[in-house]
Amino acid sequence: MEHRTSFGVPHRKMAMWVFIASECMFFGSLIATYLAYEGRSLSGPTPEEILNIPLTSVSTFVLLMSSLSMVLALDAVQRDDRLWAKVWTGGVIFLGGLFLAGQVYEFTHFYHEGLTLEANLFGATFFVLTGFHGAHVTVGVVWMTTLLVMMFRGTLGPDRATDVEVAGLYWHFVDVVWIVIFTLVYLIQ
């Protein structure tokens, strides 16, 4: 029996929501810093010159679809559909990896174009914000991989669906943060 708070919510789920609330403040600070310094760089490259909207649009779509895969993985675990639980969890890992590959390509391209952490205010705030987001995606991919290993070992059934739900909350939050970054950093220049 899962331990629950006095609100009837499993302790770990409640803890994850409190963590997510604190993460809102963390990413809020990074986004605030990016917006406060926006357009104040004394030298290039500028966002208008360097940001690749088509590539980032595809990355955004990939991350949104990974959220769909995540919620379907949870649904499969709750129904004790072990095959589809593995398929959808594998999907999250694949799509998360694809998003990270896109980010690595983008960062490498920017570096060769002269945009580094030290180049200007845009470089500093952009790399810190998107870099921390990428680090969160990486943690999510590692977390999902551990869940997939547990599924293959047969130790993750409906009785442990909260494990997947808590991981899913984290993954969806990372997706939600990207929704905000995509709009504020890439589209509104």
Partner 1 sequence: MTAPNEARAEHEAEAHGSRSTYWLVALVLAVITLLEVAVFYVPAIRPIIVPVLLILSAAKFVLVVAFFMHLKYDRPVLTRIFAGGLAVAAGIVLAMMLLFGAIGPGTGH
Q: Which spans of this chain sit near partner 1 (rule: CB under 8 A)?
A: 1, 4, 6-10, 13-14, 17-18, 20-25, 27-29, 31-33, 35-38, 53-54, 57, 60-61, 64-65, 67-68, 70-72, 74-75, 78, 168-169, 172-173, 175-176, 179-180, 182-184, 187-188
Residue with smaller CB distance to partner 1, 34 or 127 = 34
Give bridge partners of residue 91 from the DSSP assignment.
none
Residue with smaller CB distance to partner 1, 114 or 172 = 172
Residue with smaller CB distance to partner 1, 66 or 103 = 66
Peptide bond preceding 45: is omega within 30 degrees of 0, i.e. cis? Answer: yes
- Could you identify the residue written with the tokens 């200007």? 120
Give bridge partners of residue 10 from the DSSP assignment.
4
Residue with smaller CB distance to partner 1, 13 or 97 = 13
Q: How far is the CB of 142 from partner 1 (least distance, A)?
A: 20
Amino acid at site 2: E
CB count in 10 Å sphere of residue 106: 18
Q: In terms of Cα–Cα distance, which of 54, 128, 57, 59 is closest to 96?
A: 59
